[in-house]
Amino acid sequence: MPDALALTADTLAHDWRLLIGGKLVPAKATYENPSPVTGKVIAHVPDAGSQEVDAAVTAASQDFPAWAATPIAERAAIVRQIAARVRENAAELAALDTLDGGNIIRLAQDDVHRGAEMLEYFADIARALTGDTVPVTADALHFTTHQPIGVVARIIPYNHPIMFAAGKIAAPLVAGNSVILKAPHQTPLSALRLGELVADLLPEGVLSILTGSGPATGDAIVRHPDVRRIAFIGSARTGLIIQRAAAETSVKHVTLELGGKNAMVAFPDADPAEVAQSVVHGMNFSWSGQSCGSTTRLVVHEDIRPQVVAEVARLAGGLRVGDPFDPATDVGTLVSQDQFDKVTGYLEIARGEGASVAAGGSPVPGTALAVEPTVFTDVTPDMRIAQEEVFGPVLSVLSFRDEAEAVRIANSVEYGLTGSVWTNDLRRAHRVANALEAGYVWINGSSTHYVGTPFGGVKSSGIGREECLEELLSFTETKAVHISYA
């Protein structure tokens, strides 16, 4: 297993470059990238500006027609080769994510393979890009085709760096677009390494990978008039900024997968021990709670609340927070000092609002930016920790007396990404799942994604669906053709 200090020596010595026009090129400027594990600078990362963005878009535009004309089976085969290259380098890519973002090594390794799985999935369904015939008239043939859009941008977040870097280029490439991938400034290294690994597999210009120290790089991409399709994953606040910037430039197709303040609703007929296990799993404590789909609100019936809370507190308290490179560690670090300050600030806000600590509640001493898995009880729906996305290892426990109240509490936030219902009553399960204002709902489960089923949110959690055929189709435009027999 790699050592953080030894790996830091390698990443500091490495000449990190952008992928533009099929070539690895330096940016005019760089920025220092610190590790949340060691607190030390681990790399000098290219800081792409408008000049680099223009170069990437120009290269993408030039090579788009040939890539779009490439038979879809050939495009899918190349995407499979990218997946194979990712899997071949899984250990290195996972280690970069652990050093760069603090994710524990065993989950970082899983992320690599999830990214490869998404590449393979979209290669598998490439031939689903079929059109339709529409029997409108008897003397003409009416049919549709799906055509690639052109230059598209994917802007990804820091919490699953390589999974998103690899997996989110799949659909637009298979659909025949040129792709500009903007990596997160906090965790850019695995995306940059991906560019080095796959540059020889694709025609020049079809894939560019850019990094930047702040919002300027992403803003230049979003506002570029030749970028006609934008897919963003991140916070609701940034999603609104992207919508506004895109609208100020030209008509663009924008999809957003944003934050969540997701509820797990547990009814009194559910087994308290099973609910507690699912709560801890759904909270994604092992990611330090840095997951938009985390069920961060446990809305539990008063009859089983004491048993569930006691077991959740026991399980959360038993998680080992430590060196993310140690395979025995259960919880790693938060991604940055800013995120650490935000999460620890919410710990104080919760106490100030009258919430009680059932587990955790404090930062972990040391240089790593870690916070204990935390469980707050005595939470009411009006509290900030019941309304706002913390994006940290913080669970809020609320209680209810009847089904109507449970649904009201679950739907009382601006977000609507995921939800979970625990009950053995089939009718109630369907009824509540239907009533929840969320795009992705588990019944007697949590957290797991099923590739091929649409993932996405409602309300302030976003627009569009991913991990499914709809994602592939969203990177195409539908053309209707009418052939008259007369």
The pLDDT of residue 486: 82
75: tokens are: 């495009």
Please check the confidence at residue 184 and state whether its pLDDT lies above 90.
Answer: yes
Binned at pLDDT 50, 70 and 90, residue 5 comes out as confident
Buried b vs exposed e over 84-100: b needs ≥16 C-beta within 10 Å? ebbbebbebbbbbbbbb
Phi/psi at 43 (5° precision): -165, 155
DSSP type of residue 460: T
Q: Which of 174-178, 267-271, 366-370 has the lowest mean pLDDT?
A: 366-370
As a whole number, mean pLDDT of residues 302-311 equals: 98
- Of 52, 51, 33, 53, the C-alpha closest to 43 is 33
pLDDT of residue 1: 59
Q: Could you identify the residue written with the tokens 């600078």?
A: 41
Alpha-carbon gap, residue 8 to 38, rounded angstroms = 9
Distance CA 93, CA 215 (A): 25
* pLDDT for 2: 72
Q: Which residues contact 338 (CB under 8 A, 6 or more apart)?
A: none
Report the Cα 297 to chain-centroid distance in Å. 19
* Residues in the chain, total: 486
List, for residues 458-477, the tens digit of each pLDDT value: 999 999 999 999 999 999 99
At residue 368, the pLDDT reads: 83
Checking if the pLDDT of 421 tops 90, the result is yes
Mean pLDDT of 139-152: 97
pTM of the model: 0.97
* Confidence category of residue 90, pLDDT binned at 50, 70, 90: very high
Calculate what percentage of the chain has a pLDDT beyond 70.
Answer: 100
Active site residues: 257, 292
Q: Tokens for 217?
A: 């790089």
Average pLDDT across the chain, whole number = 97
What are 10-36's pLDDT values in tens digits? 999 999 999 999 999 999 999 999 999
374 versus 367: which is more confidently predicted? 374
pLDDT > 90 fraction of the chain, expressed in percent and rounded: 98
* pLDDT higher than threshold 80 for residue 367: no
Distance, CA of 233 to CA of 154 (rounded, Å): 8
Residue 3 has what pLDDT?
Answer: 81
8 Å CB contact between 195 and 19: yes
Which range, of 3-7, 23-27, 49-53, 471-475, averages the lowest pLDDT? 3-7
